[in-house]
Amino acid sequence: MTVSLAASLLNLVLGLELSAADKAAGNRFTLEGATCKPGPDGGLEIRIQHIEATALRLASGPFVLEIGHMVVHDLVAQIRTDAGVPRLDAVQAREVECTGLKLQGLVNMAPHVRKADDASLTPADAWRLDPLGQAEGTVRAQITDAHLLFDADVTVPIRHGQIDFNDATVEHVGPDSRMGISRLGLYVDAPNGRSYLYQFASAPLAGVEFEHRGALLGSWVSGRGTLQLQPFAESALRQGRDNLDPGLTAQARLLMARTGLSGEVRLGDGLLAMPGMQVHLQGRHEGANAIALHSKSAGRGLTADIASLSARDATATWKGAQLGFDALTGTLKVQLLVEGPPMRFVLELENAKLTKPRLAPH
């Protein structure tokens, strides 16, 4: 298959621009076992036993997808004719294997994503983060040379999808500090007073139990509060914001530049959904979908590694096309990079295997 033919097909299907990931070597395609026969309603059915592609680069708007190597097994494409013009009606494969897949772009949520609770949108557009409801793990922060507050080691346990701030520790020289959550936001009570790391635009928020103060002890805090990750994150996303970190205080932004992060969080099974996309995570009991977090400077970005990704029953829409697959396994790395507003993301997928991927242009 020539590059020009491949480019015309991709532009026809998704409006993508095709080029070589390695301009010196160029991209390469090979086909084996191609057959064609009449299909239903006067169309055509094209079958290809084996497609292999190397060094692909696909671009659409702010997004760029690079594929190091891809093998497609047993592809079937249905072609229909509208007013004498052939159009791709549907395509499906038995299996796709790929390595060196890299997707990058800007984290700039479209209006229909930011306003996912808008009454004009269908229920399918609602945010669902079921795997957070069963999350288990620990997040640690190492604050160094923090002139604003203190040098400290912060440990935040996550149990059954919940953060109990009574169990969170903030250790440093001198009397230790405590974290908590009030109606104003997420705070640290340090020896020199209370400082807010994140301030809520409105309260109360879903999934939050705010701090309690003892009736007989005046201002003494008897309980630091709890935060349930799933309802809190879903509520925050449904509210919609023009950017992703509006509640961070100026003090917290300066502090994050001096803060390193690490941690391990094991997600549960269940549905992940956002407007236009949904997928089910699976394999928790086999150790799948465990996230390793790390960052030298939280103010500059964060990396999440999933050594064993396992998902099923995915559906998505893109420029009017319907996409999906039955199952996906692989190794995933996600980076969020703060290089100025807006943020940028880089997603890398290795040793990926997709079962029954499909596409239906509209």
- Average pLDDT per consecutive 10 residues, the chain (362 residues; last block may be shorter): 45 52 69 88 88 90 91 93 80 97 81 42 67 97 67 93 95 86 89 82 79 69 92 83 57 82 97 94 97 94 97 90 96 92 90 96 74
User: For residue 2, what pLDDT is reported?
Assistant: 41
User: For residue 305, what pLDDT is reported?
Assistant: 98
Environment class of residue 89 by beta-carbon count within 10 Å: exposed (0-12), middle (13-18) or buried (19+)? buried
CB 73 within 8 A of CB 52: no
Q: Round to whole Å and give the CA distance between 286 and 305.
A: 17
User: In degrees, to the nearest 5, what angle opens at C-alpha 14 toward C-alphas 8 and 18?
Assistant: 50
CB 86 within 8 A of CB 95: no
What kind and span of H or E run contains 346? strand 343-355
Query: 30: phi > 0 → left, psi -120 to 50 → alpha, else beta; which?
Result: beta
User: What is the pTM assigned to this prediction?
Assistant: 0.84
User: For residue 147, what pLDDT is reported?
Assistant: 52
User: For residue 8, what pLDDT is reported?
Assistant: 45
